[in-house]
Structure 1
Amino acid sequence: MPIPSITSADKLFTEVANQLIPLYEVNEAQSITDYLLEGALGITGKERLAKKPLEVSDFDLDVLEEAVKRLKNQEPVQHVVGYGWFYGRKFQVNKNVLIPRPETEELVHWIANSHKSGSDLNLLDIGSGSGCIPITISLEAPGLQCEGWDISEVALEIARENAIKLEANVLFKRANILEATIDDETFDVIVSNPPYVRDSEKPLMSKNVLAFDPSLALFVGDNDPLIFYKRIATLAKTGLKQEGWLYFEINEAFGPEMKDLLDSLGYSQIELRQDINGKDRMVRGRVG
């Protein structure tokens, strides 16, 4: 349905939200509409609530109609506008990288707060995607020199662009962690949010995740769902300096198994944390 020429921000909001409500819950449709109007046309929620008069060009209406069409196909609004918010910053995203999630913000907060007072510390993020983890940590804890690895060169291009835009000094390089090695005692902190959604969990995922997020960054086989964790934890055991820390974001189904894995490899001070929804989501352990 075409979007009519509308003269106020609140009326435009209502028109777009009403077109999305058949596909989304009312609150979600309204949230997506706010995100879209600010990202595509620069119309903020404050302007909408103030019922600010609008002059929307035919070009802007065409852009908006195309965006709504994509949203009706359940494409994530972050892909439609080209960015996602993470830790209060805009990160460029597209189909080649995962959209940053709030759970990962909790992991970053844990790391940044734990090491903010350090200086000349080296951090490695494995599976960087958009670069949201190492970029944010480098900005929140300037004493950490951050590096990010990813198997996808197109993802690394996005990460590098995000680092430039956000003025973060992060080195990115291509690496397949199942084949790569880490030099002995190179890093003080290693973190990873590797693929952890089992193939058998795909039916539980929404269409906008299955169809638009990169499966390479999401899914792992049911036959060995901890394959990346085992490899990274093994490499980190020697790649970390003495008293260095390893952090993971994890599948909520494997909290106890992750603690057992780190314990079996000789890590100490192992700590499992839940996310804001009360699910096992983060774990860390220390070398030495």
Structure 2
Amino acid sequence: MPIPAITSADKLFTEVANQLILIYGANEAQSITDYLLEGTLAVTAKERLAKKPLELSDFDLDVLEEAVKRLKNEEPVQHVVGYGWFYGRKFQVNKEVLIPRPETEELVHWIVNSHEKPDRAKLLDIGTGSGCIPITISLEAPNIQCEGWDISEAALKTASENATKLGAEVHFKQVNVLEAMIDKGAFDIIVSNPPYVRDSEKPLMSKNVLAFDPGLALFVGDDDPLIFYRKIAGLARTGLKNGGWLYFEINEAFGKEMKDLLDSLSYSNIELRQDINGKDRMIRGRVG
């Protein structure tokens, strides 16, 4: 059904949401519609509640109808509008980077709250993607000088653009961590959210992840699901200063294995944390 040009914010919301309900269900369709209308037409929830009159141009209608078409194909709304929210900030996202997740916000919150001291510190984020981790930390904790690595040139371009738009000073570098070395004692903090979804878990995932998120940043073979963690934890043993901290976001299925891994490499003060949903999702360990 065509979207009418003369309408109101509440009626437009209902019209779009109704087109998405069969695919997403009522609650998710409404959340997506809110996100879409603000991201494409700057129509806010406040205007919807006030039943603000709207007169949409032909261009507006074309944009909206194309967006609804993409959503019906289960493309993430963040890709449709071009940004995702992370720690209260808009980050440009696309098919080259993961959409920032709430679990990663919890990891960043842990780091920021644990390193508020005024002393200058250096942080490395391995597998930086959109740059949401080092950019947010540099803005929330100006005492921390941040660097981000990624194997993907396209991801690093997105990360650099995000840093520029948000006014963050972060150095980005193209690195394949499986072949990398880190100078001895170069960093006070190393953090990573590496690929941790096993290939065998693909059937459990939704189309909007499988078809639109970069597999390079998501998946790891079932034969060695901790390959990136083992490599990074080994590098960090010497790459961190004495007293430095290593942080990981992890697959909920491998909490015990990750504790054992860090213990086997002589990390101290190992702490496994659950996310807001009660799943093992973050771990840290200290060098020295």
- Please state whether the residue corresponding to 2:52 is helix, strand or coil: coil
Gaps of 5+ in 2: none
Matches within 5 A, 1:97-112: 97-112=97-112
**For the Cα contact (< 8 Å) 1:116–1:142, is it kept in 2?**
no
- Post-superposition Cα deviations, 1:199-225, rounded to whole Å, max 9, x if no partner, equal 000000000000000000000000000
- Post-superposition Cα deviations, 1:61-89, rounded to whole Å, max 9, x if no partner, equal 01000000000000000000000000000
Whether 1:261 and 2:261 are equivalent positions in the alignment is yes
Q: With structure 2 as the length reference, what TM-score do the two structures score?
A: 0.99
Which residue identity lines up with residue 49 of structure 1 in the other structure? L
**Distance in 2 (alpha carbons) for counterparts of 1:187 and 1:99:** 27
Corresponding position of 1:174: 174
- Please state whether the residue corresponding to 2:22 is helix, strand or coil: coil
**Distance in 1 (alpha carbons) for counterparts of 2:153 and 2:246:** 25
**Distance in 1 (alpha carbons) for counterparts of 2:119 and 2:52:** 48
**Distance in 2 (alpha carbons) for counterparts of 1:121 and 1:20:** 47
**Distance in 2 (alpha carbons) for counterparts of 1:154 and 1:119:** 34
Matches within 5 A, 1:55-204: 55-204=55-204
- Please state whether the residue corresponding to 1:178 is helix, strand or coil: helix
Q: With structure 1 as the length reference, what TM-score do the two structures score?
A: 0.99
Matches within 5 A, 1:238-277: 238-277=238-277
Deviation at 1:227, TM superposition (A): 0.1
**Distance in 2 (alpha carbons) for counterparts of 1:151 and 1:66:** 32
Matches within 5 A, 1:222-233: 222-233=222-233
- Post-superposition Cα deviations, 1:85-142, rounded to whole Å, max 9, x if no partner, equal 0000000000000000000000000001100224210000000000000000000111
Deviation at 1:25, TM superposition (A): 1.2
Which residue identity lines up with residue 237 of structure 1 in the other structure? R
- Please state whether the residue corresponding to 2:85 is helix, strand or coil: strand
**For the Cα contact (< 8 Å) 1:91–1:132, is it kept in 2?**
yes
**Distance in 2 (alpha carbons) for counterparts of 1:215 and 1:229:** 17
- Please state whether the residue corresponding to 2:3 is helix, strand or coil: coil
Whether 1:10 and 2:39 are equivalent positions in the alignment is no
Count of aligned positions: 288
Deviation at 1:2, TM superposition (A): 2.3
Which residue identity lines up with residue 47 of structure 1 in the other structure? E
- Please state whether the residue corresponding to 1:47 is helix, strand or coil: helix
- Post-superposition Cα deviations, 1:133-190, rounded to whole Å, max 9, x if no partner, equal 0000000111000000000000000000000000000000000000011000000000
**Distance in 2 (alpha carbons) for counterparts of 1:173 and 1:22:** 43
Whether 1:25 and 2:21 are equivalent positions in the alignment is no
- Please state whether the residue corresponding to 1:23 is helix, strand or coil: helix
Which residue identity lines up with residue 172 of structure 1 in the other structure? F
Corresponding position of 1:237: 237
**For the Cα contact (< 8 Å) 1:248–1:282, is it kept in 2?**
yes
**Distance in 1 (alpha carbons) for counterparts of 2:13 and 2:167:** 34
**Distance in 2 (alpha carbons) for counterparts of 1:22 and 1:138:** 42
Which residue identity lines up with residue 284 of structure 2 in the other structure? R
